[in-house]
Amino acid sequence: MIPIIDFAPFIEGDFANKQTVARQIYQACQQFGFMYLKNHGLSAEQVSQILGQMQQFFALPEEVKTQVLRSPETNCGYVPIAGERLNPKRPGDLKEAFNVGLQTIWPPEPAEFQQTVETFYQNTAQLAFTILQAFALALHLPETFFTEKHGQNLFLRLLHYPPLPHSIAPAQIRAGEHTDYGSITLLIQDSVGGLEIFTRQGTWIPAPAIPGTVIVNIGDAMQRWTNDELRSTPHRVINLDGILSHRSRYSAALFCDPDPEVEITCLEPCCPADRPPRYSSIRYGAYLQSKFAATY
């Protein structure tokens, strides 16, 4: 079972409490690469507001949404259904998205969309930075080690998985199996299921919505930094059967990636003499662009 961790002692507690939570996060990432955080500071009202605005935006006519198509240069904007293949071996994913970053071009409607999304983006980014501090403590690094390397590359993806069409291509699913590219990802999702993670034991298990929690998982950059001590976990969104196949699924994911010029090099605590680095140093911006080239 994916662990549920109370994050309040890290936000509100003393250094000893912070260390306790950091150890719990480290253990969860070693075992699953995923965790649920409760008492994280994002209110139920904020979550409800962002999901409501997403429903309004994705219900707009296609000709309105395509006015703000994703730019490859900024990674911001609208991605149409099947416009991305998270697993390049599968057909296009049965989802649409709106990517928010530092250079977002906003759609003309809904009226409250920009303000609501910007507020959620800022609040979620603040939480992500606090979580990065916990990772630094868990790895016996200065608390600001990771936060100093992030800030330019935070993308909020608003995701809509529409009801399944009557005919889909062979092997086409809502989101193909993949690992995330950056350091950590924060996810909120509605009650419609479908998210699954691939366990260390080689089986797929569901990661359903748990009210009041945020799902956190690590990405490829953290795996490379930690020399595979913490591994990025494959995950996917499957096609659900029966009545659920006729329901939309909504989720919002904040991808907390290192700044483009950051060199991802094995951390000293993770590469003792008997365990040399498994990955060569790489500039994160180049790594990210290679992933985008394969999936868009």
Q: pLDDT digit string (tens) for 1-49?
A: 999 999 999 999 899 999 999 999 999 999 999 999 999 999 999 999 9
Half-sphere exposure of residue 119, counting CA atoms within 13 Å on the CB side?
Answer: 14
Q: Taking a C-beta distance cutoff of 8 angstroms, is the pair 177, 235 a contact?
A: yes
**What does the DSSP 8-state code read for residue 169?**
-
Predicted local distance difference test score (pLDDT) of residue 123: 97
CA dist., res. 132 & res. 125, Å (int): 10
Checking if the pLDDT of 245 tops 90, the result is no
Checking if the pLDDT of 262 tops 90, the result is yes
Q: Taking a C-beta distance cutoff of 8 angstroms, is the pair 209, 191 a contact?
A: yes
| Domain 4-295: CATH architecture, name and number where available | Sandwich (2.60)
CA dist., res. 163 & res. 188, Å (int): 19
Q: Decide which of 251 and 273 is more confident.
A: 251
- pTM reported for the whole predicted model: 0.96
Return the SS3 of 121: helix
Domain locations in the chain? 4-295
Q: Taking a C-beta distance cutoff of 8 angstroms, is the pair 18, 8 a contact?
A: no
Q: Average pLDDT in the 81-105 region?
A: 96
- The CA-atom distances, in angstroms, between 249 and each of 80, 104, 193, 208 are 15, 23, 8, 12
